[in-house]
């Protein structure tokens, strides 16, 4: 079974233009879990002999990212603007497999925090994305 390393994975932010243009988010050091989960709906009734369930609607998992923060970078500033504006933006993750698999989704920026403000450290931007709608795998 082939194994792929994460090095070279790219996450990009769409510009909402037509046609859409994606700008790579620079200096990303970590992209957390990208995926969907489903809850369960309890459909048990009084005649059931055991609990019965149906799958609930899909829910995109929150995606946490760590980035070496550059206050002068327009994409980093754009993520802050997305958080302030409370509007969904299109994102695309490109994995390093061959051919490269992409995961595209619209998401809200729900967290934008600068951390590691201390001696002998690199400023880190922590960003959380919450997908809204379905994830597209291509």
Q: Round the average pLDDT of the chain to a whole number and report it.
A: 94
Question: Domain 10-35+57-137 adopts which CATH fold?
Answer: Elongation Factor Tu (Ef-tu); domain 3 (2.40.30)
Task: Report the distance separating Cα 100 and Cα 11, nearest Å.
Answer: 13
Residue 119, pLDDT > 80, answer yes
Confidence tier at 118 by pLDDT (50, 70, 90): very high
User: What's the CA gap between 98 and 135, in Å, rounded?
Assistant: 20
pTM given for the model = 0.89
For position 100, what pLDDT does the model report?
Answer: 83
3-state secondary structure of 116: coil
Buried b / exposed e along 50-80 (16+ C-beta atoms within 10 A) = eeeeeeeeeebebbebbbebeeebeebebbe
Section 16-21 average pLDDT: 93
């Amino acid at each position: 079974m082939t194994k792929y390393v994460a090095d070279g994975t790219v996450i990009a932010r769409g510009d909402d233009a037509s046609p859409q243009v994606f700008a790579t988010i620079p200096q990303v050091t970590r992209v957390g879990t990208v995926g969907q989960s489903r809850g369960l709906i309890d459909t048990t009734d009084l005649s059931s002999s055991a609990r019965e369930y149906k799958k609930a609607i899909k829910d995109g998992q929150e995606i946490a990212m760590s980035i070496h923060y550059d206050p002068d970078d327009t994409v980093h500033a754009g993520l802050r603007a997305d958080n302030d504006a409370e509007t969904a933006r299109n994102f695309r993750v490109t994995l390093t497999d061959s051919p490269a698999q992409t995961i595209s989704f619209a998401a809200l920026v729900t967290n934008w925090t600068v951390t590691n403000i201390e001696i002998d450290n690199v400023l880190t931007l922590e960003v959380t994305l919450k997908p809204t709608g379905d994830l597209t795998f291509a």
